[in-house]
């Protein structure tokens, strides 16, 4: 055991060593942070989602208005700032598909548009199927379900919703007829959606109670009550109502089998049933940001290009027989992280997402063009906001 004098000397030596290692700095001597501007590392955390080799970080948005008040930065959402920064840029527009960028918007708003497109935009879809004869191997319920999922090319804004107490008429119902027979001795017959024939005058099936009660002079009562023909309307005179695609297989008939039915389409929303959803899919992703943290040349450049399955990287010739890797197609990055999965490569490549820049894709089923669907979604969101403001006031 050491004496008390020895222990005191050892404690004093340890204290002096710590003082030499950790130099004390007064709080008053620390450099001042620039007011009205965030340090680069905090600004990066605020505006980017960082993607490491294992998992992404900084995935949550900072919504508190006073989060950076000590640095003189106002983090509150202001209408003027949103109006100046928000942009919509069309990238690709096809008949049934639209890709565009939404810049300067919160993820909650982007998701609101997605949910409205899927569940709250109305379309016309077959709801009621009156089967007169079905000798195929497909059950009546399954056949009706398949018919309901066939997209109908018609503007739903031209029709009204039909409630339980409403009578089917030319303003709320579209009637189709399907009658196909496979004759004996012939090959199996495919029943396609093109066999659905539009009946602009309404139903042709007579109500069961009318067969015995109706007289020969009175007009028999059918399942609809049309006051006029739908093809007299100018919207349908040039473009008759029909399924969007004519080659959808409804059923297959063997020799001697027959299907005869009427299908009634009404207006509805996707939140009631998926058959009324106007989009095959509507989705978004944050804009990828791929950075090279140092120059990657020669063999390393070729190895990096081979790592990426989507060919995000490319090689450029910098002269004197040397090659250098470049980021050629950052937008194509899906964040598979193959380029940084190998040990040490996360020091060469940085993968990020811009958290207020969304790549939005809309795939229409064909009832309405995708650009019209997005416009209608904006109107619905606007109506919801006005409703909330009215209730609060």
Same-domain status, 185 and 311:
no
CATH, residue 271: 2.170.120.12
Q: What is the pLDDT of residue 142?
A: 96
Q: What is the DSSP string of 79-98?
A: HHHHHHH-EEEEEEE-SSEE
pTM for the full predicted model: 0.82
Better pLDDT: 92 or 2: 92
CA pair distance 91, 16, nearest whole angstrom: 65
Residue 67, in any domain of the structure: no
What domain range includes position 319? Answer: 85-119+281-362
Quote the crossing angle between the two packed helices 370-392 and 107-119, to the nearest 10°: 110
Query: At 384, which helix (H) or strand (E)?
Result: helix 370-392
Are the CB atoms for 91 and 100 separated by under 8 Å? yes
Averaged pLDDT for residues 45-71? 85
Same-domain status, 144 and 229:
yes
CA pair distance 152, 265, nearest whole angstrom: 9
Residue 263, in any domain of the structure: yes
Same-domain status, 268 and 292:
no
Q: How does DSSP classify residue 161? A: -
Q: What is the pLDDT of residue 239?
A: 86
Same-domain status, 271 and 296:
no
Are the CB atoms for 50 and 56 separated by under 8 Å? yes
Same-domain status, 272 and 137:
yes
CA pair distance 369, 93, nearest whole angstrom: 10
Backbone phi, then psi, for 137, in 5-degree steps?
-80, -5
Same-domain status, 148 and 186:
yes
Q: What is the pLDDT of residues 107-139, one digit of tens each?
A: 999 999 999 999 999 999 999 999 999 999 999
Q: How does DSSP classify residue 166? A: P
Same-domain status, 97 and 139:
no
Query: What is the percent of the chain where pLDDT is above 90?
Result: 66
The tokens for 119 are 């569940």
Same-domain status, 264 and 334:
no
Better pLDDT: 91 or 7: 91
Same-domain status, 130 and 147:
yes
Same-domain status, 148 and 226:
yes
Q: What is the pLDDT of residues 203-245, one digit of tens each?
A: 999 887 655 555 555 678 889 999 999 989 888 888 899 999 9
Q: What is the pLDDT of residue 16?
A: 45
Q: What is the pLDDT of residues 346-372, one digit of tens each?
A: 999 999 999 999 999 999 999 999 999
Better pLDDT: 2 or 318: 318
Tally of residues, the chain: 393
Q: What is the pLDDT of residue 18?
A: 43
Q: What is the pLDDT of residues 138-192, one digit of tens each?
A: 999 999 999 999 999 999 999 999 998 899 999 999 999 999 999 998 999 999 9
Same-domain status, 110 and 224:
no
Same-domain status, 130 and 114:
no
Residue 157, in any domain of the structure: yes
CATH, residue 108: 3.30.1360.10
- Pick the last residue of a domain from 245, 260, 276: 276
Domains in the chain, number? 2
């Amino acid at each position: 055991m050491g004496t008390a004098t020895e222990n005191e000397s050892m404690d004093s030596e340890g204290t002096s060593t710590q003082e030499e290692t950790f130099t004390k700095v007064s709080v008053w001597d620390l450099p001042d942070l620039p007011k009205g501007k965030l340090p680069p590392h905090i600004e990066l955390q605020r505006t980017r989602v960082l993607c490491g080799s294992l998992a992404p970080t900084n995935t949550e948005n900072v919504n508190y208005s006073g989060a950076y008040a000590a640095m003189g930065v106002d983090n509150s959402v202001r209408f003027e700032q949103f109006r100046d920064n928000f942009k919509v840029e069309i990238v690709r527009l096809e008949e049934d598909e639209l890709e565009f960028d939404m810049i300067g918007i919160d993820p909650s708003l982007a998701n609101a548009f997605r949910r409205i497109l899927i569940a709250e935009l109305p379309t016309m879809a077959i709801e009621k199927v009156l089967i007169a004869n079905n000798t195929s191997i497909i059950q009546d319920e399954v056949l009706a379900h398949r018919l309901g999922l066939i997209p109908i090319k018609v503007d739903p804004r031209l029709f009204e919703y039909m409630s339980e107490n409403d009578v089917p008429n030319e303003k709320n119902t579209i009637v189709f007829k399907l009658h196909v027979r496979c004759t004996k001795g012939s090959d199996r017959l495919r029943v396609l959606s093109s066999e659905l024939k539009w009946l602009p005058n309404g139903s042709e099936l007579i109500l069961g109670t009318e067969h015995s009660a109706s007289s020969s002079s009175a007009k028999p009562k059918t399942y609809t009550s049309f006051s006029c023909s739908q093809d007299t309307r100018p919207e349908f005179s040039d473009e008759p109502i029909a399924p969007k695609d004519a080659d959808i297989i409804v059923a297959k008939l063997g020799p001697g089998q027959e299907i005869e039915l009427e299908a009634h389409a009404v207006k509805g929303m996707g939140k009631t049933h998926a058959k009324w959803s106007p989009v095959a899919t509507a989705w978004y992703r944050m804009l990828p940001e791929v950075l090279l943290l140092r120059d990657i040349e020669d063999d390393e450049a070729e190895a990096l290009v081979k790592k990426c399955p989507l060919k995000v990287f490319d090689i450029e010739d910098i002269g004197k027989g040397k090659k250098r890797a470049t980021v050629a197609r950052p937008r194509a990055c899906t964040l598979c992280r193959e380029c940084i999965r190998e040990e040490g490569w996360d020091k060469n490549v940085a993968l990020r997402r811009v958290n207020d820049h969304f790549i939005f894709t809309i795939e229409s089923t064909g009832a309405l063009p995708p650009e019209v669907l997005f416009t209608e979604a904006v109107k619905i969101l606007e109506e919801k906001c006005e409703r909330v403001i009215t209730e609060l006031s």
